[in-house]
Structure 1
């Protein structure tokens, strides 16, 4: 199915959704950064029946900041990620029924580090227009690894199998055209959508990232970690005008690794752990 091209992503055609579960202070940072960096965009929040007192309080006190707050009440049945995929399906349906063309999915262990402005909206729109099979634009900074540099599209691709992630901006028309029902697990969705020929692109200019050393939940239970002691309270500083200008002036061959462009804050002793641990260990 062919879709008419759009000039850019805007507050009129893009809905932001935060997926929440028991993150407390980390959720608060996610909300604050979204409000600060996404001026004019409407946001909904879908919570997977949090029990953490601070999270529950935030859902009450911050409700006025959202178009809608939805609490998922369905039984989780011991699933590793709870009702995340049911909630993603709900979010896609809500955005579609509300007339949006794109859904930006944000997890509660993430934050924005620079504005979602007109230049970003144009850049991301160009990526969706670059191919009928572009299903998702993933606006995160990248971990160290081997990436394919797509010079003409000014974008990056991890490999041809990465068609989908539980984070990123989804083209709802393309997803709905195949009447997609989300499967349990990111890998299962990724493989099935890859088999259908879809792709996910990383943009030249990312605007979000996971926070370092979050609290981690699996199957509804928190994972015990001894160090660092203040898990869930770290983050990245908002990029300055000069930092954004320097980043935007780089050649496309320079991949936007988070360690190069982002500054962690609220760290003392834990900064040593941040610099010496492997990238994938920082976010788990």
Structure 2
């Protein structure tokens, strides 16, 4: 997708585009729910604003901290400034940058600092800026997740990470035969042991903060390193029976703060852009949560895209990385990144 000048963007609005009423729950006053969203951001202002809006609509009782990796994009900087100016309880942090050689930029250093600032009994939920909440959270949801960490019965307790996101289309690498369901914990387990990540750990996760501290958790600089660490300390990651967040499909990508010509060409060819989801109504959310557990929470089967804002619609199954299934461009991207390192760029 061709890059556009930041000045072409419309003025930033931090409460728009989510055509669903704000949920009301008398059991939860603003910011008093023990769930803290940590949103990690870099140079995708439109996506960040949308992510924050979805949290405000679906989980108004939860704290939010945005950890921005020192975005250079003017539009993203404007969104961050508007969040600070709004003074609505959303914190914005821009810590010192980590070594840019990491595939994920300064993500893991930011994660370490973010998790260290959260109270022991709080549930941490990490999100990336190209994600959104897709259904209203209920206090009963939160109580059930907290109980997984606070149960005295080891058969009812979950000692590890939880995955709060809808499943992407399983594809050829994983079949329904690789998925099992633990009814006592209301989580799915997915056989991804042969993959570098996704069985015990994912960069998008939910966990009680004190569990990380009990094991002196230090984030590694690669997702695969965190997967190995999680295998040493925790049980397999549980995928929530009733997830509540999702990755936006077809989003432009930043990997290690570099954008190659191959990446830009892939984004243009595949019509990458902003494809937000409609948020479920209370009735739709209740029906989803009441479904049989045998119906897996796959995004393509349960979520609907909003009107495409003039951009081409995305065919299913959706893609989530511009270079996905693009072998020639993926090779060109890798070579360009390696050349950039050699010339010090």
Which runs of 5 or more structure 2 residues have no equivalent in the other structure?
1-30, 171-175, 194-198, 325-345
Query: How far 1:256 sits from its partner (Å)?
Result: 0.8
Give the deviation of 1:214 after TM superposition.
1.0
Please list the CA deviations of residues 148-177 of structure 1 after superposition, one character each: whole Å capped at 9, or x if unmatched: 222332220113742221112122111111
Counterparts of residues 1-284 of structure 1 (less than 5 Å): 11-63=32-84, 64-96=87-119, 100-128=121-149, 129=151, 132=157, 134-145=159-170, 146=176, 147-159=179-191, 161=193, 162-222=199-259, 223-224=263-264, 225-229=267-271, 231=273, 233-267=274-308, 270-271=312-313, 273-277=314-318, 279=319
Using the size of structure 1 for normalisation, the TM-score is 0.86
Unaligned runs of 5+ in 1: 1-9
The number of residue pairs the alignment matches comes to 270
Write the deviation string for residues 54-111 of structure 1: whole angstroms up to 9, x where unpaired.
1000110112234421102234332211110000000111113xx5532111111100
Higher strand share: 1
* Deviation digits for residues 110-137 of structure 1 (CA, Å, limit 9, x no counterpart): 0001122212112322433455552222
Q: Which residue of 2 aligns with 1:4?
A: none
* In structure 2, distance between residues paired with 1:61 and 1:68: 11
Q: Name the CA shift for 1:65/1:227 in 2 (closer, same or farther; >3 Å).
A: farther
CA distance in 1, matches of 2:106, 2:311: 36
Do the aligned residues in 2 keep the contact of 1:12 with 1:100 (CA within 8 Å)? Answer: no
Instruction: State the alpha-carbon separation in 2 of the partners of residues 246 and 186 from structure 1.
Output: 34
Q: Is the 8 A contact 1:79 1:219 kept in 2?
A: yes
d(CA) in 2 for partners of 1:178 and 1:134?
11
Greater radius of gyration (CA) = 2
TM-score (norm 2): 0.72
Using the TM superposition, name which of 195-204 and 215-224 deviates more: 195-204
- 1: CA distance between counterparts of 2:165 and 2:224? 18
CA contact (8 A) 1:164 1:193 kept: yes
Q: How far apart are the structure 2 equivalents of 1:74 and 1:84?
A: 9
Q: Please name the residue that 2:341 is paired with.
A: none
Q: For 1:54 and 1:15, locate their aligned partners in 2 and report how far apart those are by CA, in whole Å.
A: 25
Inter-partner Cα distance in structure 2 for 1:52 and 1:198 = 39
